[in-house]
Amino acid sequence: MIKTIIGLGNPGAAYEKTRHSVGFMVVNALADQYGSTWRPQHNYLVSDIVVGEQKVALIKPQTFMNNSGNIFTYLQKKGIGASDILVVHDELEMPFGRVAVKFGGSARGHNGLKSIMTYIGDQFMRCRIGIGRPLDKDDVSSWVLERFRQDEQAVEVMIKFSVDTIVKEIEKK
């Protein structure tokens, strides 16, 4: 049962609407859809929603991507384990706009996922949001930190589809 959804991204205005912060964009849209607001706690922001009868905490770590896993020390004290979590993140290995939910798997070079896996392993749900890959693999670092291009304006559609996919996943449980 999904009790917590963690959107991955980087905090601060400089990183808003960048490919690497698409996880933040999705949890923001979930909070908006359910009329919830964000409040600071420790080193993250939290917003509570209710989907059907299921209470779900939305979380945005404020430690930058490479330290996203730091949140788990606190979550484990709250009794939240890997099987209770869905992580929303950008995925280079999927074409722009594709959304897929999966359980487990490797980090595939994603530093936010690597950080999380050091705390809880790889046995958690993920909502992978395709951001595509630059032509030159040496451009990956700058690619993920860039804002979406004009020809990628379907971002809002992708975010809405991601929210719908996550709600269906919660309702299945």
User: For residues 142 and 136, what is the distance between their CA atoms, to the nearest angstrom?
Assistant: 11
Computed from CA positions of residues 124, 127, 130, 131, in that sequence, does the dihedral angle turn out positive or negative?
negative
Active site amino acids: 20
User: For residues 163 and 29, what is the distance between their CA atoms, to the nearest angstrom?
Assistant: 7
The terminus-to-terminus CA distance of the chain in angstroms comes to 5
Question: Half-sphere exposure of residue 127, counting CA atoms within 13 Å on the CB side?
Answer: 31
